[in-house]
Structure 1
Amino acid sequence: MASLREDIYTVYKGVLFEDSIRNDIDKENVSVCRLLHFLNIDDIAQHVENNHYPNKDWHFRYRISSMIKLTIVKCFRDLSFNKTISSLSDEEALLLHFVNDGGNISLPTGSTLHHFVKYRLGTDGLQHIMRMIAERIIGLTKARDLKTDSTPLEASRYDKYSDYNPHYGCKMDKAHITMIGVFPLCMTYTNGLAGDSPELDKHIDFLKNLNVDIDSYALDSGCDSFENHADIWHYLKVKPTIPPKCNAVISIEGTIERINHWVNKLWKKGGSIHMPITKKLELLYDNGRRKQVGMYLRNEMMADEKFEEKIKTRQPIERSNRHIKGRVTFDVRKIQKNSRELYSIARFVAYQFMTLANLQNKIEKIDLAKYF
């Protein structure tokens, strides 16, 4: 242990002992703390310090980055706050940098970790961290396929607060998740019967401020509306792939003849039937014809001969949702009603952090099964 303690100490002197630990990441049954050791979150820790500790004279007994990583361990291992602390070995504590000025291991209590998650960070703090991670993921990944889908957060069958969803056949709340490739970007929490379409506005707002550059965006048929087609095209600069509802038909107002008719009516604002179609749609969108723009886009999608192939791009997000649940407990059992959103987001953010750790270290395949 002394030699390991000395190795850990080299981190503080600016020398990483990567050769001795990074090689272990490729092995089976590796502590998640070894992966988290290589997770660089200095900017996120600085954000937490600046925005969640109003007293600037605060004496930090524990590194904020260490507390964040300990939160990830708690979510990954699905332990209580107290059991999370007691589960750490000396080596793991050192890997997370829980060392005091005297060189001895110093771990927080379970109540300290609980206070950090629920009161220091809270739902708003975790949502901002989610955005910061998403920005990093977008900057590091080469993936250009975006997907949004919902997944159940199962509750006990005796739960008096969660709704019974007949489609899933259980009592549940719901998580709405957006991913790029296999990497999670955004999650919103709702009750178990909430529709997918109303939540999509939040995801579009989240994404448009990230300036994400994508080639495709696949969604569930629950998001099939003219407004959603138009908003995704307008803000994200991509034509979405959304399976139309069973009663969908070609919309007359979405034909090129009707598009030209309304563009011509806007001649005082520069409208001309000789404009490129993209310019026509932008003009209509900006002048109160958002629904008509969506009609045109959905008509095009329904007429696309390769549409059935494009729908298949939705399948990977369903596998990714199962992968998240296989690595992080993603349900609302045994969680008080007023804390469910907080801990659901915390678990999602923990999964984000772990995928980010892989990306930062150029590990393209996300395989978290080997960690404990």
Structure 2
Amino acid sequence: MYTSIVIISILLAVLGPPLKSRYDSVVFILKRRPDNLPSVSSFDSFEIKFEESIRNCEDVYMNDEDGFAVLSCDPGRDNWNTVMGTKIDPQSTGGLYLYNYADPEATPVLLNMVNFPKDRDFHPLGLDLNPGTNQLIVASHASQGSGLEIFELDRKSMTLNHRHTLMDPRLPTPNAVRVISDYEVLVTNDHYFRIHQNPWLALAETYLAVPGGTIARVNLLMLEVATVARVPFANGIALLNSSHVAVASTSTPEFRVYEMHSMGLNLTMSFATPFMPDNLNTDSAGRLLIAGHAAPGALGVVAKTNHQYDLDGKGVEGKAAPEQRPRAPSWVTEWDGNMEGEMKDLYLEGLPAEKGGYGCSSSATRDVGRGVGIITGLYEKGILVFKTS
């Protein structure tokens, strides 16, 4: 007993100041009122598109060489979200859409999944494509168990040939994926405790910033998984260059920069964010785009109530009109990659009483050459397509 007290006292003495600092910043964000946020847009123009055909898009892969994107969308998130704790019904599943954004007249097309297991549902989160091998790796929180779904993309036939489902104890809660070679990817696991199995422990892990989340290195040839770093609520991940990677820590809130080497990752620096960061993407100019959640309390309300609204316009009896639903604000910023560099706000939408704008920002990416970018919303209809000069 005495030994335990001594250990706890030492841990509190060592961790107390940084935990207090993190606690203060998290509490500030949790108490933030969406209607007190300003509306900011640094874009030349933007438009919310495809509201009638896609919704709940969590992540986006952009190929700025060929001018197309792959969107990870899941209307079923209203009823099944193992990150936010919604566990109503997993049967309504998600899909992946190919969007040729270089063509102004193009619309997203649902990719046909071939040979996907019939006994497994599909709830996609993060994804990444290896353009050299056409291998698309997707994190999915299926009700049968979370894992990575590995496909081969055929853009001509608009199909995804399913090659393998990878489930591993070191991939308990896969969230974001980043290709680092033809046969390796880095995968973030947002929690150690799954919220739908251990809700109180998962919430404690989130709000106490316990480093239960991990970064895993996955060998796709050998189907081997190794844990290479631990991060509180590890979320989005992006390559900054050939030797460094950035990882979002949603609950701290910050993003961390790691140096990659053959044995793992070394933490080199971290940068606080004024919101809870979600996905990260790097554009061709080397700038890191960070999308996230300005008012997590409002996002939590959306996650709990979205299933009560007739968002697909099917006239379902007992469901409320979609315009009555709660909304949660967006915050997207960029970092220029310099240690002394400042972050610049790209899009901030507080969603005032009239419920305008685009909320729940979860990912942002940009084609610098074409001056086109995309923002996705975790619980939003359509996507935001912006233009810059």
**TM tier, smaller:** under 0.3
**TM-score, normalising length: structure 2:** 0.25
Structure with the higher fraction of residues in helix conformation? 1
TM-score, length-scaled by structure 1: 0.26
**Structure showing greater Rg:** 1
Q: Which has the higher contact order (CA 8 A, sep 6+)?
A: 1
